[in-house]
Amino acid sequence: MSSIKVSIVMPSLNVKDYMYDCLESVVKQTLKEIEIICVDGGSTDGTLEIIDSFAKTDGRIRVIHAEKKSYGYQVNLGMAAAQGEYIGIVETDDLVSPYMFERLYDAACSMEADIVKSDFFYFTGNGENRILHRQDMSWTDAGAYHRLIDPLHDRTGFFFYLATWNGIYRREFLEKHHIKHHESPGASYQDNGFFFLTNAYARSLYVLHEPLYMLRRDNPNSSVVNTKNMVRILEEYRFIKQLLCLDQYLYDHFRNEYFYLFTQNCMWIYEHLLYCDKEKYLKEFRSDLLKLLENNIVCYTTLESHHILFLFQVLHNFEAFIHYTVEPKRLYWNHISQHRKVIIYGAGKFGKLFFDTITQEFSAEDIIGFAVSSKEANDNVCRARKVREIEEYLPDCKQCVVVVAIKEIDKGKLVKKLRRMGFQYILYVSWEILYKKDCWWPSMMLEEW
């Protein structure tokens, strides 16, 4: 038996800003019997130099140079090279607690589990400026923790937060069932297939109710914030569906869980897409949904009523759905794009939310600044933009769009004031615009005076 207890696979590609801290958190593990397999996809920014500097002083580190820029390909290379009893994955812009792998490994041994996972933290910032937010693996069921789960008889694991990097997997289990990541290009959602397959084939899953992993949420290159790569979620679920239809065991026992994951994650992506991309994405989603119906891979019992309504409208009222949900919001953003330069009236919660939303649709350079009625009750800076009294924007900014982003407001009175001051283009922002949520009913998304 190997003396290595856990093999930690670390895929990297141009993560110089994060690589040192991430690798340092791994080499400082209290579990010493580990190997660290760094699989680089051809970094050119200094990432490799950081890895090599660690490898010179720590013999547990192995470096593999991947020929493809593919997260799935890199992780598969690392898993194929692993010699430990268990395999873990650490994404190289994240961090792990010093005792993460010791806690996971001890639980795996005592429970004889195929998979052991834990809760985790979201975080932004570095050092003293780091801000943590705890995320439980189980959304609602506290009884899902600290007990062995057999996914064949208890589907609880499919309803956990979709995460693969916060756990360890018995290597013999992965090899027995030939479980690998989808080797599609880039780094977009290849963990979805791995999550599905490990849950489907495992006979023992155990989850610790403590956060041990730290997931970064301020990397601008992350697939979560890169809306152009979001549409690739459909490719991932086509890959999983192909495996499902080729394996009678998966099809007979887990097609309902596949449908749940497909609909939940693809609908989440839809809600966060830019409005210019929504209709095209929704057409592809609908096409895939129809193919699932043909293959009898449909189950509504695990879905909430508003999700069922969404699917019904996409399948049976597609053109009307687009007309009442996507089109009004697209008109909103098109109206702004005609003028480009924007003043956000309101520097509070609404104003900040609108800034975060509009900078996904347009360049942040298009935001002139924030306007308020009085600076006495406001900070001088908001989202790295100056906060000025509205009068200070005159007379040079009369052609800018003024977006009123205040929750409690006498809209008519304010608009009349802005009109008298000479502003010609005034929009009001709604909750639907801010959160990109789409409703079936034709509520007015755009109010212009």
Q: Is residue 59 assigned to a domain? A: yes
Q: Measured between alpha carbons, how far is 444 from 274 in angstroms, rounded to an integer?
A: 19
Q: Is residue 422 assigned to a domain? A: yes
Query: Closest by alpha carbon to 170, among 161, 179, 159?
Result: 179
Whether residues 206 and 241 share a domain: the answer is: no
Q: Is residue 326 assigned to a domain? A: no
Could you give the number of structural domains in the chain? 3
Question: Which pLDDT score is estimated for 263?
Answer: 96
Locate the DSSP E strands across 263-317: none
pLDDT of residue 376 exceeding 80, the answer is no
Q: Is residue 232 assigned to a domain? A: no
Distance of CA 256 to the CA centre of its chain: 23
CATH number at residue 355: 3.40.50.720
Per-residue pLDDT tens digits for 427-439: 877 655 555 454 4
What is the chain's mean pLDDT, rounded? 87
Question: In angstroms, how far is the first alpha carbon of the chain from the final one?
Answer: 75
Per-residue pLDDT tens digits for 286-336: 999 999 999 999 999 989 998 998 899 899 988 888 876 776 666 677 777
Whether residues 77 and 205 share a domain: the answer is: yes
Q: Is residue 322 assigned to a domain? A: no
Residues spanned by the domain of 285: 237-316
Whether residues 40 and 126 share a domain: the answer is: yes
Whether residues 374 and 290 share a domain: the answer is: no
Give the model's confidence band at 442: pLDDT under 50 very low, under 70 low, under 90 confident, else very high: very low
Q: Is residue 353 assigned to a domain? A: yes
Q: Measured between alpha carbons, how far is 13 from 7 in angstroms, rounded to an integer?
A: 20
Whether residues 195 and 245 share a domain: the answer is: no
Tokens 């080499």 locate to 27
- 328 preceded by a cis bond (ω within 30 of 0): no
CATH number at residue 93: 3.90.550.10
Q: Is residue 321 assigned to a domain? A: no
Whether residues 150 and 122 share a domain: the answer is: yes
Per-residue pLDDT tens digits for 12-50: 999 999 999 999 999 999 999 999 999 999 999 999 999
pTM for the predicted model, two decimal places? 0.79
Tokens 């409005």 locate to 275
**Who has greater pLDDT, 187 or 213?**
213
